Structure 1
């Protein structure tokens, strides 16, 4: 009887040890063991992430995701998401990291970690150049006759709702939203200075308003699972070395210098 009890006890202890080992396995270990890095990205935010007509992804953070996967010696899996569903998809465990011009916010920080900061950015207006003088301030934009257009679910919409409640807010696909401005179907888009400057180069007729004087301070980073310090430490170190060697700056420079269609 005693021998049977001892045997059962050993099995139970082994089970607990196995469970604890599983719980303590880091996200880094899981990625390495599975040989795959799952990346959530919206594919609609040039110059960071864009899903092309032939089904490929391109952009600053797409190239950085490829670099991260290479550093790990694993293959990449793209996980399509939207700005509206980003946090839901991420916290559901659909991906190991989210990349693609993601702004740091305290609301997102409540549910996830962020990597070290990539760049400082901020919200500014993007308008037709002929109307640039009309939309210099929040007061000028926050008017009932101003047609504001944004992609749904991200920090652009959040800014519009918080600071521009009087303007008429409409939503549009972020891939073609800029043409809406050129076609005079909307007046103003509030977006990050980096995107506004990129679209200004890409689409003659659009102007980034006061890109060095943002209406709201912002930072960009990569989204990581909460409470996994070792995975964050690896991503942060990879990012640090990418910047220290100039690899990150080279990728950014290539995209911002010669915008692609």
Structure 2
């Protein structure tokens, strides 16, 4: 009969215990609802808000209160979670940093971006879809992106945004001028220092009510998915699942489309520029 030393028996027992305890520890560490539980325990959903980004974000100068269709969507998510909204003023270009520093819990209306994708999880089902447009000086519309792709052309974009990515990809010969926000971009156009400003078409259309410029939807038409994003961290699987189901319901029942149509109609936005059959 083969004999075993006390030392070997203890070593074997230790290995067996570690094999038994490893799955339990892994399960304990990987709680898919951890992020949802954290948000609920805090009592607030920290959301980004941006000045000059109407009608998605609208700030009442008298009260400081926020509204707009993005803020309304975020309010619905907060209600579903049983918490209140906590607005955090920021810019599109700062969203990745805001996620990394835990300043925000969610972003809405963002475009998938590989660089941000290193630290941010995007939901693949967009809340809605629009397209990239160009706001040009009055009387100077463009039919194609190629018309702006020349060394003598200056195109303004918001710094760090997907608009900058689009312009740099399609207009490598043009001078691309990044600015911090929409207001500065419009100032460049009004001052005659820009031949165009890249915007999402719905943003560009609502700006035309100020008689600042003319909206062009250049060929080829580039679709612009407006998605939701959350910080990549352990325990956000349940949060992503919840948000995915919320988006599916908003789209399948026409709730998202109805809210957007009402928001644009309220601001006198003319959607006739959109091609026939364009679905957002």
TM-score by length of 2: 0.75
Look up the match of 2:100. Answer: 91
CA distance in 2, matches of 1:230, 1:23: 11
Deviation at 1:21, TM superposition (A): 4.1
Look up the match of 2:224. Answer: 218
Q: Does 1:27 align with 2:42?
A: no
Deviation at 1:118, TM superposition (A): 1.2
The one of 152, 161, 182 equivalent to 1:154 is: 161
Deviation at 1:183, TM superposition (A): 4.2
Tell me if structure 1 keeps the 8 A contact 2:145–2:220: no
CA distance in 2, matches of 1:169, 1:98: 26
**What does 1:96-115 align with in structure 2 at a 5 Å threshold?**
96-99=105-108, 101-115=109-123
Tell me if structure 1 keeps the 8 A contact 2:127–2:251: no
- Runs (5+) with no aligned partner, structure 2: 1-23, 269-280
TM-score by length of 1: 0.80
Deviation at 1:22, TM superposition (A): 6.2
Secondary structure of 2:166's counterpart equals helix
Look up the match of 1:137. Answer: 144
Greater Rg over alpha carbons, structure: 2
Look up the match of 2:203. Answer: 195
The farther-off stretch of 184-193 and 239-248 is 239-248
CA deviation profile, 1:136-194 (whole Å, cap 9, x unmatched): 22322022222211221101112222322332332343135335424433220112222
Q: Would you say how many aligned residue pairs link Structure 1 and Structure 2?
A: 242
CA distance in 1, matches of 2:263, 2:186: 18
- Runs (5+) with no aligned partner, structure 1: 1-16
Tell me if structure 2 keeps the 8 A contact 1:36–1:75: yes
